[in-house]
Amino acid sequence: MMKIDEKIKQRIRLACESRQPSEGVWYVVYLKPKWVLRAYKEIEFKGVEHVDIWEKDVSVIVAEHYKVSQEEVALHPYGFPRGRVVNLNPSKKEIATKAEMYGSQWAVYFGNDLPGGTAKWQRQIVGAFDLAPAIGRIDWRFDNHEIRTDYDVEALSALLGLDVSKV
């Protein structure tokens, strides 16, 4: 019987995990002419936090799109709508089965400031975090922590040359 190399086992495990439901964070960013969801699953970005992912990825995308300083954009992580996905009763196992993951109770925390309203983005967020089979077990929860800050909205608006609170 052939033994599978540990690196191959890890690749197989990561490939399977990437298609499983996951906690994580997301941003909805205005890249003129449209709003775009940027989702970061915990199983792909271990220990993902809004400020870190903003500095390392989202600010780069925004700066390149608008041809402005990435260092300046990075200073304003609370200028666009954002939220997080949380598994409220995760499995105690090292690697949970899909059935266990989908059977969990999930929460999506958001600041209630999504362009066009929350309902417009629910399907995309659910899809990005592979939560479709858990639809009946997802609570959408307003969280003050996820609200955009006036300071960052104003600073990004000035930097990008458009009012990001009204687009």
Q: How many domains does the chain contain in total?
A: 1
Kindly state whether residue 165 falls inside one of the protein's structural domains: no
Lowest mean pLDDT among 63-67, 77-81, 86-90, 143-147: 86-90
Summarize pLDDT for 108-151 with one digit per residue, the tens.
999 999 999 999 999 999 999 999 988 888 999 999 999 999 99
The overall pTM is greater than 0.85: no
Kindly state whether residue 65 falls inside one of the protein's structural domains: yes
Kindly state whether residue 5 falls inside one of the protein's structural domains: no
Summarize pLDDT for 27-49 with one digit per residue, the tens.
999 999 999 999 999 989 998 99
Question: Kindly report the CA angle at 140 between 137 and 145, in degrees rounded to 5?
Answer: 135
Domain enclosing residue 121, as ranges: 23-160
Kindly state whether residue 166 falls inside one of the protein's structural domains: no
Kindly state whether residue 34 falls inside one of the protein's structural domains: yes
Which distant-in-sequence residues (6+ apart) come within 8 Å of 6 by Cβ?
Answer: none
